[in-house]
Amino acid sequence: MKKPKVMVLRAAGTNCDLETANAFNLVGGTAQRVHMNLLRQGKAKLMDYDILALPGGFSYGHDAGAGKIWANQIKLHVKDLRNFVRMGRPVLGIGNGFQVLVKAGVLPAPHSHLPEQTAGFIANDSGRFEARWVHLRLNTQSSCLFFKGLPEMIELPVAHGEGKLVLKSPRQLEELKKNKSIAMQYVSDDGKLTGYPHNPNGSIFNIAALSNPEGNCLGMMPHPERYTTKHQHPNWTRQTFVKEGVGLELFRNAVEYCRS
Amino acid sequence: MIKPLQGIRHDGPGDACVIWPHAATGDSANHAGFAVSHGLNPAYGKLDPYRMALACTDEALRNLLCVGADITRAALLDNFCWGDPDDPAQLGALVRAAEGCRDAALGFGAPFISGKDSLHNRAVDASGKSLSIPGTLLISALAPVPDVRKALTMDIKGPGNALYLVGWTTDDLGGSLFHEFCGRCGSCQAPAADPRAAAAAFKAVYGALSKGLVLSAHDLSEGGLGVCAAEMCFTGEFGATLDLDEMPRRSNIYADDVLLFSETPSRLLLEVDCDQELALAKALRGIPAKRVGTTVANPVLKVTGLDGRVALEASLCDLKTAWQDALPRRLG
């Protein structure tokens, strides 16, 4: 069977590219780590790939805001990203990758044809870098292709200093709710929408991940590539029932989607 | 793989960290990793810097052992944080600590591969008197973990399991938390570790761990058995009953508080499935190890004293609060 080709795009300061590529390789994809400059120079073509992943890290040292420079580069030089999304190919932004998707105007899905930034990220309410495991509730109404077969509640690690999602207006939040774009929310261990520490950054409506209404483009602050084996969970020595890391399932869904 | 804070709520004091480098290399079939730990106790250094070095090395290696690392292939680092070396007393203490490091390395068969020192840590008070900091030696240790999937954490895993204490207990309250708390610090000495005997015991325990006979392991350090058992219980959120009369001990000790809080080095508390007790006894043949208690579902730590009466009964909630409040209280 054909192995879907995955582009794991990286820029200066990206540091989760290896783990993201490994996750795709583990579930039957062929991941290539491609540097942003290769895309800019035309030496790599986005359309040659089936899946695009924007991994986490500190692209360009977070100068001018987390992911801002990388987002501008993508806006200017990766013109076929919108087509890539429109064609229904899976796009996954993790951590810094999510910030880039938002700042490049890919998420929340824009109304107009111009890539316009309609949301943003600011520093965590706690005022510090939050690196720990959180409970997440997936939107079961969402048509997100990455979530097939996943339970409603999962755990993943977060690691970010600027993860508080802010929206342009309260109306935008209503819209996101209506078109089922809120893919994941931070919750307490019993599934309630509560504040800090369960919501690690103070994100509006506890939003941890956004997708486009079609469900093929997902941006998420938590790191699924850091939960690919059950032994990465902080409590794995107590868990006798877990077979594999739940994070791997997101990558598998993307790969399976391309195969079918 | 194994994180510094462990247990259900990720807030219990783990012994060591286990790192799996192949998470990044992508060689997901290779499960080799390594563990990192440390041993530190400046209170012993005030009494005897030589013994501090032995005890800290012993503790660092025991911490490695508790997560399932192969301590026969351990390596050490010394980190000295010392006062004014122009003061003969300070310089002498430094020499004694260095001699302790040498004897620990030879006794445990573990080389020092690097280290760091910081001298001249002193302040001059208003009358012009030079005050040095307490000479402090931090021993860091690292060792390979052949299969990270077999690594252990220190939290109690379930009710009805046996608790085994490995190592002799003697009257070692010199420099202990118990003395600091009760304000008794007279002419007592810091505990003396015996590296050669300890190395043999650790090797046997590592054999039992690598066979998968042990569910959780924790070292007895500051606060002795009492603090060790409390930490295991509130981290795993299961209670335990302990019988002090069962503790392997050589010298005659007639006081419950000495048994409970003595800080004799080279000791470990192991949680073992009752079905594995025979296999454990076989693996630890010739090593002082005895069943001292049982884990229970009730969230209470209950200790029976030498006279058969209850010497201590505390809820895990209270124990955890006491443990967590200590640091903020110290920092004001």
- The three-state DSSP-derived secondary structure of A81-130 is HHHHHHCCCCEEEECHHHHHHHHCCCCCCCCCCCCCCCEEEECCCCCCCE
pLDDT band at B186 (very low <50, low <70, confident <90, very high): low
Half-sphere exposure of residue B75: CA atoms within 13 angstroms, side-chain side: 7
**Whole-number pLDDT of residue B187:** 65
Tell me whether residues A26 and B28 touch, CB distance under 8 A.
Answer: yes
| Å between A19 CA and nearest CA of chain B | 5
Q: Is A94 exposed, middle or buried (0-12, 13-18, 19+ CB in 10 A)?
A: buried
Q: Structure pTM?
A: 0.89
**Whole-number pLDDT of residue B83:** 93
Q: d(Cα B38, Cα B81) in Å, to the nearest integer?
A: 15
For residue B111, pLDDT over 80 is answered with yes
For residue B251, pLDDT over 80 is answered with no
Task: Among B24, B149, B152, select the one facing A19 at the smallest CB separation.
Answer: B24
Contact in structure between B249 and B172 (CB atoms under 8 Å): no
**Whole-number pLDDT of residue A111:** 75
Tens of pLDDT, residues A170-217: 999 999 999 999 999 999 999 999 999 999 999 999 999 999 999 999
pLDDT band at A4 (very low <50, low <70, confident <90, very high): very high
**Whole-number pLDDT of residue B182:** 85
Report how far Cα B5 is from the mean position of its chain's Cα atoms. Answer: 15
B152 chain-A contacts, CB cut-off 8 A: 237
| Å between B9 CA and nearest CA of chain A | 9
Q: Looking up tokens 């739940």, which residue turns up?
A: A246
**To probe the interface with B, which of A231, A241, A244 has the most B CB atoms within 10 Å?**
A231
A231 chain-B contacts, CB cut-off 8 A: 1, 20, 148-149
**Whole-number pLDDT of residue A21:** 95
Task: Among B3, B23, B24, select the one facing A234 at the smallest CB separation.
Answer: B3
Give the mean pLDDT of B13-39.
93
**Whole-number pLDDT of residue B185:** 61
| Mean pLDDT value across chain B | 94
Q: d(Cα B300, Cα B297) in Å, to the nearest integer?
A: 8
Q: Looking up tokens 């580069």, which residue turns up?
A: A73
**How many beta-carbon contacts under 8 Å exist across A and B?**
46
For residue A77, pLDDT over 70 is answered with yes
Q: Looking up tokens 């058969």, which residue turns up?
A: B308
Q: d(Cα B289, Cα B250) in Å, to the nearest integer?
A: 12
CA distances from B34 to B67, B145, B297 (A): 10, 5, 33
B24 chain-A contacts, CB cut-off 8 A: 18-19, 22
**Whole-number pLDDT of residue A242:** 85
DSSP label at residue B148: G
Q: What tokens were used for B7? A: 């247990």
Q: How many CB atoms lie within 10 A of CB B237?
A: 17
pLDDT band at B62 (very low <50, low <70, confident <90, very high): very high
A132 chain-B contacts, CB cut-off 8 A: 10
Residues of B with CB under 8 A from a CB of A: 1-3, 5-8, 10, 20, 23-26, 28, 148-149, 151-153, 155, 157, 216, 236
Task: Among B25, B28, B157, select the one facing A238 at the smallest CB separation.
Answer: B157
Tell me whether residues A18 and B25 touch, CB distance under 8 A.
Answer: yes
Contact in structure between B35 and B17 (CB atoms under 8 Å): yes
**Whole-number pLDDT of residue A219:** 96
pLDDT band at A47 (very low <50, low <70, confident <90, very high): very high
Tell me whether residues B24 and A18 touch, CB distance under 8 A.
Answer: yes
Coil, strand or helix at B214: strand
**Whole-number pLDDT of residue B26:** 80
**Whole-number pLDDT of residue A17:** 94
For residue A116, pLDDT over 90 is answered with no
**Whole-number pLDDT of residue B181:** 85
* Beta-carbon contacts of residue B275 (< 8 Å; ≥ 6 apart): none
| Å between A237 CA and nearest CA of chain B | 7
The answer to whether the bond into A197 is cis (omega within 30° of 0) is yes
Task: Among A133, A228, A231, select the one facing B148 at the smallest CB separation.
Answer: A231
Residues of A with CB under 8 A from a CB of B: 18-19, 21-22, 25-26, 132-133, 226, 228-229, 231-232, 234-238
**Whole-number pLDDT of residue A1:** 67
